[in-house]
Structure 1
Amino acid sequence: MILSNRYNFLYVHIAKTGGTSVRAALRRLQWKDPYYLAQFICSRLSHMTGHRIAAKLPRHAKIICAQEMLPKEFFDGLFKFAFVRNPWDLQVSSYHHLKRERPHLLAGHESFEAFTRWKLDPQRPYQYHLDTSITLQTDYLIDLHGRILTDFIGRYETLHEDFAHICKIIGVPPIELPHKRQATDRKKDYRSYYSDDLAELVGKHFARDIELLGYRFDPV
């Protein structure tokens, strides 16, 4: 999550939706923020204390976290945005990310189908990186009453166009998005990873995302 006082925006970073590229592009704006030094110091202090002082908004914090921590008038006046992604494609991206960065988490479940079924098993013990990857994207966007709090929801599928629109709204020249964390070992078409029943299983788990965000297994 990135908060900018100078440009009056709040970016809600949902994992595996192009957020690393968005953060890299927005970083240059952070340096111009009058509160950047204070934010940086608080972030370092939070890290040094094992995040026990509640002095920062975590990278993948949900928007309700910012709503609770910030003054109401200030929060309401922010331009709040996030990016989302087709849930079936997101799970393929998550699989390759964990396979590359934390391969020990795949132990005994090396194939995409076996790993995804295991992740979605409600009897599986909690594991932060696994559970974060199957958290509903809409959970990051809503308040306690289920109301969407973001002003704009961009899409990974139109990442560059939507980010250009965001730059226009916050009043900055268009910023080129860098290419970050692109997997080289995955197939381009996410649908090739799925059997019919696995696609249905993922669809059931992410039913609210699919309904509210308008996704489907076969893109239009």
Structure 2
Amino acid sequence: MLLSPRFNFLFVHIAKTGGTSVRAALERVRWRDPWYWLMWPCHRMSHLTGHRLGTKFPRHAHAIAAREMLPKSFYDSLFKFAFVRNPWDLQVSSFHHIRRERPHYMQGHDNFADFLRWKFDPERPYQFHLDTSIESQNDYLVDLHDNLIVDFVGRYEQLNEDFATICARIGIPCPELPHRRQATDRRKDYREYYDDETAALVAQHFGKDIERFGYRFDDVGGA
């Protein structure tokens, strides 16, 4: 989550949706925010105490956390935005990310289909990096009654266009998005990774995301 009081925005960062590039671009803007220099020592103190002081929102905090902790008038005045991604493509990206950077979490499930079935197994012990990647994207953006509480939901599939819209709304020149890190060994079309069973598994688990954001398995996109 990225908050800028001067530029009046709140970015809700859902994992694997291009958020790292968005954060990197907007971090440059935050250096011009005088509130940042007051927030920074609080962030450091929060980190050094294991975040026991509660002075910083976690990187992938849900919007409802900000709404509950910030004054209502301030939260309501912020331009709140996030990005979402086709769930089938997101799971392929997550598979390559974990295999590349945290292979010990795979526990021998090196095949995509086997890994996906194991990942969604309700009997599997909880593991933060695995379970974060199967959280509903919708849950990041709604209140307890499933009402959307952000102002703009961009799409990973049109990241540059939607980021330009966000910058125009914030009122800043649109900085270039840093190059998105890509797995060199993944096939571009995420659909090639699935059979009927695994495609249905994702459809069932992410039913709310598919319904709210209108994604379909045969949507073209992903990289």
Where has structure 1 moved over 2 Å in runs of 4 or more? none
Q: Provide the residue aligned with 1:9 in structure 2.
A: 9
Classify the secondary structure of the residue corresponding to 1:66.
helix
In the alignment, what sits opposite 2:60? 60
Q: Which letter maps to 2:102?
A: R
After the TM superposition, which residues 16-165 of structure 1 pair with which residues of structure 2 at under 5 Å, given as runs?
Answer: 16-165=16-165
Matches of 2:2 and 2:44 in 1, distance apart?
Answer: 15
Distance 2:136 2:31 in 1: 32
Secondary structure at 1:188's aligned position in 2?
A: coil
Determine helix, strand or coil for the equivalent of 2:34.
Answer: coil
Determine if the alignment matches structure 1 residue 204 to structure 2 residue 204.
yes
Q: CA deviation at 1:52?
A: 1.1
TM-score (norm 2): 0.97
The two structures have a TM-score, normalised by structure 1, of: 0.98
- Note the C-alpha offset of 1:38: 2.0
Q: Which residue of 2 is the match for residue 172 of structure 1?
A: 172
Q: Structure 1: how far apart are the matches of 2:97 and 2:215?
A: 22
- Cα distance between partner residues in 1 of 2:97 and 2:43: 25
| Whole-angstrom distance in 1 between the partners of 2:126 and 2:206 | 18
Asked whether the equivalents of residues 94 and 133 of structure 1 are also in contact (C-alpha less than 8 Å), the reply is yes
- Unaligned runs of at least 5 residues, structure 1: none
What amino acid does structure 1 have at the position aligned with 2:47? H
Rounded Cα–Cα distance in structure 2 between residues aligned with 1:38 and 1:112:
45
3-state SS in 1 of match to 2:7 = coil
Matched with 1:195 is: 195
Number of equivalences: 220
Q: CA deviation at 1:115?
A: 0.8
Find the aligned partners of 1:43 and 1:116 in 2 and give their Cα distance: 35
> Considering only aligned residues, what root-mean-square deviation do their CA atoms show, in Å?
0.8
Identity value in percent: 66
AA aligned to 2:183 is: A
Q: Which amino acid aligns with 2:147?
A: R
